[in-house]
Amino acid sequence: MSCTNCLQVQDQLLQLRRRLWLQAAALATTVLALFVGGFVHSKHNDETSTPPVLRVRGLIVEDAEGRERILIGAPVPKVDHRIRTDFAKAKKAWGDRYPNMDWYKRLEHNPTGMVILDEKGHDRISFGVPQPDPNVGRRVAPSIGFAINDEQGFERSGWSHFPGRAVGFGLDHPNREGLNLFLFDDGSVGMLVRDDKGTRQTFVGHANKGTPWSGIEGSLQGLAIRDEHGPSVVVNAASPAPSIEIREAGGKTMRKLTEDAP
């Protein structure tokens, strides 16, 4: 091999070596850049990401007009827009229906839960622990559940659990209770239907002795129809003597059929 050829080979080897060094340097720079970029991105996310738990005492959601519409809290926050918690506003809204409203000051208004108001400030939906009382009076006992109200803030439907007592679901007339489904802890269970005047009601189900919903003194497994004078028709399959009774206005039995009757 001539000296000229040796020089050419050495020159080619030097060029190849330089290219390899350049490629290695470029690769190292790329890896370093990826590592640094990943570290910075991870640190940024740790510093700016939303905390996994949000701790607040209460939350108020307003509409486009600035009116408080959704109240969430433990208990729900007090706001000026809500009629129920302002006695002057409540008396103005319902004073024609209830001229003397001193009893109203004793009602429970602020649950631990949520209340949704309409644009006028009436409670329309609420649920919590305990539930707010209806704006017509105290509940029979503290309860857990939800209520749906009409445009005047009067309860029209609801589901309630009365700890240690019962669980029930109700649909109401505009001025009084209408239909109730309930299950008592003593085993009584049934449906009670009332007319819009509150003078007639029909109970269907099982009621142990002393359960007021059935409208009769003893236990009942069947049907009891009452008017303003008391039970008028009772179909009772409870032991020991299943029977059908038809009663007069004063409650005196006019006709009673038993399984032993001819």
What single string gives the DSSP state of each residue in 97-131? T-S--GGGGGS----EEEEEE-TTS-EEEEEEESP
Q: Which domain holds residue 183?
A: 164-262
| 246 and 252 Cβ atoms separated by less than 8 Å | no
Number of H helices, E strands in the chain: 2, 14
| Structure tokens that stand for 112 in this block | 């631990």
Residues 188 and 257 in one domain: yes
Q: Identify whether residues 184 and 259 lie together within a single domain.
A: yes
The residues with which 3 forms a beta bridge, in sequence order, are none
The answer as to whether 184 is a domain residue is yes
Using CB atoms within 10 Å of the CB of residue 153, give its burial: 0 to 12 exposed, 13 to 18 middle, 19+ buried.
buried
- Has residue 61 got a pLDDT over 80? yes
* pLDDT 10s digits, 170-181: 999 998 899 999
Considering the domain architecture, whether residues 179 and 229 belong to the same structural domain is answered as yes
- Answer yes or no: do 221 and 256 share one domain: yes
149 shares its domain with 218: no
User: At residue 19, does pLDDT exceed 90?
Assistant: no
Q: Is residue 28 part of a domain?
A: yes
Same-domain status, 237 and 169: yes
Q: Are residue 61 and residue 139 in the same domain, yes or no? A: yes
146 and 186 fall within a common domain:
no
Same domain assignment for residues 186 and 209: yes
End-to-end CA distance of the chain: 137
- Statement to judge: residues 183 and 133 lie in one domain: no
Residue 217 lies in a domain: yes
Which of 198, 159, 146, 148 lies closest to 177 in space, CA to CA?
A: 198
Tell how far CA 214 is from the center of its chain: 28
> 0.75 exceeded by the pTM?
no
250 or 45: which leads in pLDDT: 250
* Residue 38 in this model has a pLDDT that exceeds 60: no
- Percent of the residues in the chain that have a pLDDT greater than 90, as a whole number: 55
Instruction: Please tell me whether residues 206 and 246 are part of one structural domain.
Output: yes
Q: Same domain, yes or no, for 188 and 106?
A: no
Question: In whole angstroms, how far apart are CA 221 and each of 92, 173, 201, 218, 257?
Answer: 47, 27, 16, 10, 15
* Residue where a domain terminates, one of 153, 182, 217: 153
Measured CA distances, 88 to 71, 106, 200 (Å): 21, 15, 36
Tell me the mean pLDDT in the region 115-131: 96
What's the chain's average pLDDT? 83
Indicate whether 12 pLDDT > 60: no
Which residues 6+ apart lie within 8 Å of 4 measured at CB? none
Rg, the chain, Cα only: 38
Mean pLDDT lowest among 23-32, 160-169, 218-227, 253-262 = 23-32
The total number of structural domains in the chain stands at: 3
Task: Retrieve residue 119's tokens.
Answer: 């644009």
The residue among 166, 167, 169, 173 whose CA lies nearest residue 181 is 169
